[in-house]
Amino acid sequence: MKKIINTKNAPAAIGPYSQAVEVNGTLYISGQVPIDPTTVKVVDGGIVEQTKQVMKNIEAILIEAGYTFSEVVKSTCLLSDMSNFASMNEIYGSYYSENPPARAAFAVKELPLGVLVEIETIAVK
């Protein structure tokens, strides 16, 4: 059975999609961008600040759904420029100090709202 996950502690969807969907013990989190849910604006700063906000948003959704970072099995990281990879990777890696998930990272032409990073996540119970 499909369960829609929604929390006020992460930014609301900016299109026709859900923050996350859980099906049969698997949580699919839509790509999170660095929007602060309290201001509903992209956070100030560069890739470090934006990656920190993205990971906070992912954490809020994981918590709402009853998951933790240790249950994340796959991430896809989208970057506006691969020159930001090392800085993004340092912040991202701090959330997965043991048994990190599988991951892909891509540079794309552009991201919504002109952000520098977007990360989608899959977690399994």
Rounded CA separation 36/82 (Å): 23
Q: In which domain, by residue range, is 93 found?
A: 2-124
Q: Is pLDDT of 58 > 90? A: yes
The dihedral sign for the CA sequence 94, 97, 101, 102: positive
**Whole-model pTM above 0.75?**
yes
Task: State pLDDT tens for residues 61-87.
Answer: 999 999 999 999 999 999 999 999 999
Q: State the total domains in the chain.
A: 1
- Please give the structure tokens belonging to residue 105: 């990272």
CATH label of the domain that carries residue 59: 3.30.1330.40
Pairing between strand 117-124 and 26-32? antiparallel
Q: Is pLDDT of 14 > 90? A: no
